[in-house]
């Protein structure tokens, strides 16, 4: 694949199928070191499917997927995580009967003997975690769960984080807190981020470029500020627009 030295994720001609139903059609993406890139599109556009395809879960794929120059396609989900992809699914999947510390320690354990981040170091880096650390999963708000899910994905020191609609169902004030936390991750953890979202103000605050999906195809890509200023594009491809 034709990529540059600072390419973290590249997909080329990525197709994906649920059974016999094709859900992605020739998706080309590139995320470079330190970038936060938006993956936009309406409900059912194919955002989560793109993540499923990268993680080799639920879908059958064809095409190329590379992380820092290494092929991911056809590897097991464990191998993909070990190679450096951290995935925060839409439903967050915090263990509700375990404390936040136990949730994070469990993720460390799942990393095996690799160079995992110590839970206390994670709390030092993300101070919002401090007051949550002794609480059980079922004692967390949606925004707090999102923060814990992101922290958990960072434990294995991924090169790429896949965040699937982190603001879904959250109040605007909480969204601001999540945005502040996400903003500092690339530098703090040396990680790039692919952010699936429908919340355009959030995407505008965090990302430099966007890919827009419709029915499993990339229908627009370019700088975030161009998309954020183009009401016609937004009307065509999103449910809510911000430009007037």
Ligand X SMILES: Nc1ncnc2c1ncn2[C@@H]1O[C@H](COP(=O)(O)OP(=O)(O)OP(=O)(O)O)[C@@H](O)[C@H]1O
Q: Point out which residues bind Mg ion (CB under 5 A).
A: 47-48
Cα 217 from Cα 136, distance rounded (Å): 40
Least distance in Å: CB of 41 to ligand X? 5
Closer residue to ligand X, CB minimum distance, 156 or 220: 220
Tokens of 132: 């949550």
Task: Give the N- to C-terminal CA distance of the chain in Å, as an integer.
Answer: 40
β-pair type (209-214, 192-197): unpaired
The binding site for ligand X (CB under 6 A) comprises 18, 21, 23, 41, 43-49, 58, 90, 198
Closer residue to Mg ion, CB minimum distance, 48 or 207: 48
Cα 81 from Cα 72, distance rounded (Å): 10
Cα 169 from Cα 166, distance rounded (Å): 9
Say which entry of ligand X, Mg ion, none residue 45 contacts (CB below 5 to 8 A, set by partner kind). ligand X
Say which entry of Mg ion, ligand X, none residue 230 contacts (CB below 5 to 8 A, set by partner kind). none
Least distance in Å: CB of 52 to ligand X? 7
Closer residue to Mg ion, CB minimum distance, 3 or 25: 25
**How many residues in the chain?**
244
Least distance in Å: CB of 92 to Mg ion? 13
Cα 72 from Cα 20, distance rounded (Å): 22
Least distance in Å: CB of 142 to ligand X? 16
Say which entry of Mg ion, ligand X, none residue 18 contacts (CB below 5 to 8 A, set by partner kind). ligand X
Cα 191 from Cα 85, distance rounded (Å): 10
Closer residue to Mg ion, CB minimum distance, 7 or 50: 50
């Amino acid at each position: 694949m034709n990529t540059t030295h600072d390419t973290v994720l590249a997909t080329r001609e990525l197709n994906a199928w649920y059974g016999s139903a094709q859900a992605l059609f020739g998706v080309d993406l590139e995320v470079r070191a330190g970038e936060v890139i938006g993956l936009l599109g309406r409900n059912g556009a194919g955002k989560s499917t793109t993540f499923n395809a990268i993680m080799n879960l639920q879908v059958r794929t064809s095409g190329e997927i590379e992380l820092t120059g290494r092929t991911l396609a056809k590897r097991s989900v464990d191998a993909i995580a070990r190679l450096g992809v951290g995935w925060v699914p839409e439903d967050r999947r915090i263990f509700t009967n375990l404390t936040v510390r136990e949730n994070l320690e469990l993720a460390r354990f799942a990393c095996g003997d690799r160079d995992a981040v110590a839970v206390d170091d994670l709390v030092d880096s993300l101070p919002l975690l401090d007051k949550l650390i002794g609480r059980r999963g079922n004692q967390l708000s949606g925004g707090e769960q999102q923060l814990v899910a992101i922290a958990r994905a960072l434990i294995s020191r991924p090169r790429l984080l896949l965040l699937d609609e982190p603001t879904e169902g959250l109040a605007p004030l909480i969204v601001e807190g999540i945005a502040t936390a996400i903003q500092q991750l690339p530098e703090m953890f040396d990680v790039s981020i692919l952010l699936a979202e429908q919340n355009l103000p959030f995407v505008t605050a965090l990302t430099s470029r966007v890919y827009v999906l419709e029915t499993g195809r990339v229908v627009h890509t370019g700088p975030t500020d161009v998309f954020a200023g183009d009401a016609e594009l937004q009307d065509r491809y999103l449910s809510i627009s911000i430009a007037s």
